[in-house]
Amino acid sequence: VVVERSLLADNAERAERLRKRLAARGIEAIGLLGGPGSGKTALLEATLARLGPAARDEAVVEGDCATDRDARRVAAAGARVAQVATGGLCHLDARQVEDALARLDLEGVSRLWIENVGNLVCPAPFACGESRRALLVSVTEGDDKPAKYPAAVAAVDLLVLTKTDLLPHVDFDPERCAADARLVHPGLPVLSLSAHGGQGLDRWMSWVRTGRL
Ligand SMILES: Nc1nc2c(ncn2[C@@H]2O[C@H](COP(=O)(O)OP(=O)(O)O)[C@@H](O)[C@H]2O)c(=O)[nH]1
Ligand SMILES: [Mg+2]
């Protein structure tokens, strides 16, 4: 228990130093959390498409256990990207993000995206230098996920319900999902969107730019 606590404390200090170093350069980091397949990379792709030519000034750190597939996807969408392959590890930590940033040209960058490893448990307590975090839950995962994974809900600034284009085909109650999340995290903003259909993306871009929906 003591070892675990010092690991978390060390990471928290490193993450806070990283956040301040980024802020000093005018860079704000946004963390994307969510289960595997919740739509994190698709939302990044849709965001970069909205930004158009300005996407080249977005930097992305991609965390996955294996492969550089997501890095290729966001690179194709125009962003600068560094992939972290964590091996067996189920989350990113601040040191891995620091190491990844050493491989990125941050000149002219004002926003850094950190797509964490797909997991609803492990990433929550490991800050990575983010100023803000969004948790993605797709409508295909079931509306009970915020109730079942409260630590993830407590660790974020926004809950995003993704793939709303699929709502007619699944048994998912957005109201119940949001209410469960707010039991854990009172006042948490909740946004429904579809990266494919485009619904909700205007409000998402508002949150990205200003921190408000
Ligand atoms: N129908 C639909 N499918 C989506 C949407 N967003 C993502 N997907 C699909 O969900 C799967 C997982 O998406 P991905 O972005 O790779 O999820 P990640 O693992 O969280 O990065 C892919 O097959 C996507 O095409 C959406 O808005 N609507
Ligand atoms: Mg992904």
Pairwise CA distance, residues 175 & 160, whole Å: 13
Q: What is the mean pLDDT of residues 68-76?
A: 96
Residue 121, token pair as written in the block: 């448990």
Does ligand 1 have an atom closer than 6 angstroms to the CB of 42? yes
Q: What is the mean pLDDT of residues 14-20?
A: 98
Does ligand 1 have an atom closer than 6 angstroms to the CB of 118? yes
pLDDT tens, 124-181? 999 999 999 999 999 999 999 999 999 999 999 999 999 999 999 999 999 999 999 9
Q: Please answer whether residues 19 and 129 qualify as being in contact, where contact means their C-beta atoms are separated by less than 8 angstroms.
A: yes
Mean predicted lDDT score pLDDT of the chain? 97
CA of 70 to the centre of ligand 1 (A): 11
pTM given for the model: 0.97
CA of 186 to the centre of ligand 2 (A): 28
Nearest to 163 by CA among 154, 150, 176, 174: 174
DSSP 54: G
Output Rg (C-alpha) for the chain, integer angstroms: 16
**62, 113, 162, 199: which to mutate for ligand 1, most atoms within 8 A of CB?**
162
CA of 70 to the centre of ligand 2 (A): 5
Segments of 79-130 assigned E as strands = 80-85, 111-115
For ligand 1, atom 6: residue with the closest CA: 39
pLDDT at residue number 171: 97
Q: What is the mean pLDDT of residues 93-117?
A: 97
Distances (CA, A) of 41 to 35, 147, 151, 162, 169: 12, 24, 22, 12, 22
